[in-house]
Amino acid sequence: MANIALHGNPVSTIGDLPQIGLSIREFALVNEKLEVKTLDDYDGMRKIISIFPSIDTGICAASARKFNEAAAGLENTVVINVSKDLPFALGRFCAAEGLNNVETLSDFRGTFGDDYGVTIADGPMKGLLSRAVIVTDENGKVVYTEQVPEIAHEPNYEAALNAVKFLST
């Protein structure tokens, strides 16, 4: 269980992020067309999985924009944004913002949050996903994780992007 905060107030997650060096678990998430996307859809690609509570908050939106911008220059890498938002809301946001370098997927009917240890267990955002980043190599082996300690803060973009760049050297 990760101990994090929301505006300084303690909250926790139901578990911990996947361990560095281990492979990530399979997932089934839903895109804006209501198509199920699985880990196999990104086979052979490096993955930056950006997890957040809701695209309708300023920090989550900023995170999606920042990773979209960074993804344009990354070879063989996919950025996968994951939240509990409905797929329609995620699609509408990406269309309005012109975000076309990222995959934005919903866990609204899945177990991703529980499987990856990021479901918020208590507090006003109980049931949503915490803010976290997971980076994997082409085979799904975890090379970097960050459980952002304060939900209202942005992740360390530079560290996540450096983890991807390190894989290409």
Burial class (CB in 10 A: 0-12, 13-18, 19+), 132: buried
Contacts of 95 (CB under 8 A, 6+ apart): none
Nearest to 167 by CA among 83, 35, 76: 76
Catalytic pick among 60, 71, 80, 99: 60
Query: CA-to-CA distance for 14 and 38, rounded, in angstroms?
Result: 22
94 in active site: no
| 3-class DSSP assignment, residue 85 | coil
Q: Which residues are catalytic?
A: 60
